[in-house]
Structure 1
Amino acid sequence: MHRQTELDRINRVAWNSADAARVFTQEKTFSDPGEEAAFGWLAPRCSGTPVLDIGVGTGRTIPLMTAISNDYTGVDYTESLLELARSRYPTRDLRHMDARDMSALPSGHYGLAEFSWNGIDCVDYDDRVRILEEMYRVVRPGGYVLFSSHNRGGPGYLENIWQLLPHFTPNPLKLGWRTLISVRRFQLGTLNYLRHVKLNHDYGAYAVKTAAAHNFGIVIVYTTLGEQRRQLAQVGFQSDTVFGSCEGNRIPDDVEDSGAWWFHFIAHKPMAACRFD
């Protein structure tokens, strides 16, 4: 069992909540236009190869990944969510596993390892590197990785508890309904925020901050384009492209700032890596 950090403790509570099960089982294909563009870019390059789906949750990405290849393995460290995925896709190879230690999986095997919905942001910085190192280990030379990560310069980083207050409307019935919903959300969100705000820290190239999702029930990493590209190179990957979440636009290599809520990073393990692994 991997050591449990403060981020682990907080975020695991959220992933085991009824709110997480509700959100993750909503009928949805791609999370955003950027993810759709990233899958479109990867599909012809990874078709038919073994694929690894990390942080599979309740199974949203299973149809997306199996459209690329039927040689599929999915893993998640939250047993309750994984059981929901197994009930929905009983014939798929779904395993209870922490992305920081995937030693049960073979090295140099997968043509694509994917970690969706900003799951890599939910561990601290050192563990983030461990996940990328494990992804590097399990993909074959020439194989690809795809993961999404919150943008330190995006609108999500500026979210605060005041957004939980009801939006004004001149319709008294709508305003009353919004107020009733907001009362509980604001109380719970404020309580969570006050519990977690001590962990907020801006390191410049990246930041750790309580996020609005799940009523401010999670604490995550927000990265910058430059820092994530540097981190990928540190692990040994060669960056290929980055897609912004909002419009699915491809972000040029020389761009350092973006207004996207989050990024979809694609990188590959160099063919020359087979001489060193």
Structure 2
Amino acid sequence: MNSPSELDRINQVAWNSPDAARVFTLDKTYSDPGEQAAFDWLAPRCAGEPLLDIGVGTGRTIPLMTAISNDYTGVDYTLKLLDLAKARYPERDLRHMDARDMSALPSGHFGLAEFSWNGIDCVDYDDRVRILEEMYRVVRPGGYVLFSSHNRGGPGYRENIWQLLPRFTFNPLRLGWRTLHSVRRFQLGTLNYLRNVKLNHDYGRYAIKTAAAHNFGIVIIYTTLGEQRRQLAQVGLQSDAVFGSCAGDRIADDVEESNAWWFHFIAHKPLAAYRFD
């Protein structure tokens, strides 16, 4: 592993924060309708297969994955979150591991490798490719990868610090409560935004930008449909389906723009795959 980039360093600070632990342990099943649609598509194709859950965090996806197969391995590079997952699911095989280097896992073994909640967006572009190459390596020929990624053309890309201000209401008590609630968030969000905004850059096919989540405490990649499809092909994966986050609709192969907040990409390793084998 190379030394972490500034983007990586910023995001690892966020994942080790109390806010991340709180958010990731909220009772939740699917993150959005698109994730549910993707799991519904994959479940009959991966039933009983060995499954790899990348970026398992505090364990939200463990019940979703083990509903498909009990042959399960979960990994995460944030030890603090992984320890929470281990406490919740002590019977599961959960390992401290970075998705950019999963050399401890066998090649051509898993029927599905999934990376949820846009975790692949939290490293720089070159490391994103390394993660996809590792996902390619560990799945068997014919096996699938699933990951979510923020949409360069979606509403999340247009978020800004002004949304942290309290929403106006003519009810003075409610306005007062909203103002008190937003004071700390606005101060912290502004500080994080000003610290991280220097990393913002729009490359057209994708962009790097400080995101509203965790009080503007993370910097992530936003991709376009065309760029992500190209990147999948670059590492040898064949695209199967893309689902939008908002309504869980399947996005047609010839569509280049969407208003979804993020996408769920499904691709597979060709049966005659020799790129890394």
- Using the size of structure 1 for normalisation, the TM-score is 0.99
1:244-263 counterparts in 2 under 5 A? 244-263=244-263
Paired residue for 1:121?
Answer: 121
Cα distance in 2 between the residues matched to 1:2 and 1:154: 32
Q: Does the C-alpha gap of structure 1 residues 275 and 28 become closer, same or farther in structure 2, counting only changes over 3 Å?
A: closer
Name the aligned partner's letter for residue 212 of structure 2.
Answer: A
Matched, 1:141 2:141: yes
Structure 1 residue ranges without an equivalent (≥5): none
Name the aligned partner's letter for residue 152 of structure 1.
Answer: R
Paired residue for 1:41?
Answer: 41
Decide whether the 8 Å contact of 2:236 with 2:275 is kept in 1: no
Cα distance in 1 between the residues matched to 2:274 and 2:207: 34
Paired residue for 2:32?
Answer: 32
Paired residue for 1:86?
Answer: 86
Q: What secondary structure is seen at the aligned counterpart in 2 of 1:266? A: strand
Name the aligned partner's letter for residue 132 of structure 1.
Answer: L
Paired residue for 2:222?
Answer: 222
1:1-277 counterparts in 2 under 5 A? 1-274=1-274, 277=277
Q: Cα distance, 1:2 vs. partner?
A: 4.3
Name the aligned partner's letter for residue 182 of structure 2.
Answer: S
Cα distance in 1 between the residues matched to 2:251 and 2:66: 27
Decide whether the 8 Å contact of 2:137 with 2:276 is kept in 1: no
Cα distance in 2 between the residues matched to 1:173 and 1:9: 41
Cα distance in 1 between the residues matched to 2:125 and 2:153: 18
Cα distance in 2 between the residues matched to 1:170 and 1:251: 41
Q: Cα distance, 1:3 vs. partner?
A: 1.9
Deviates more, 1:1-10 or 1:30-39: 1-10
Structure 2 residue ranges without an equivalent (≥5): none
Cα deviation, 1:95-147, whole Å, max 9, x if unaligned, reads 00000000000000000000000000000000000000000000000000000
Name the aligned partner's letter for residue 150 of structure 1.
Answer: H
Cα distance in 1 between the residues matched to 2:50 and 2:274: 18
Q: Cα distance, 1:274 vs. partner?
A: 4.9
Q: What secondary structure is seen at the aligned counterpart in 2 of 1:107? A: coil
Q: Cα distance, 1:276 vs. partner?
A: 6.5
- Using the size of structure 2 for normalisation, the TM-score is 0.99
Name the aligned partner's letter for residue 232 of structure 1.
Answer: L
Q: What secondary structure is seen at the aligned counterpart in 1 of 2:56? A: coil
How many residue pairs were aligned? 277
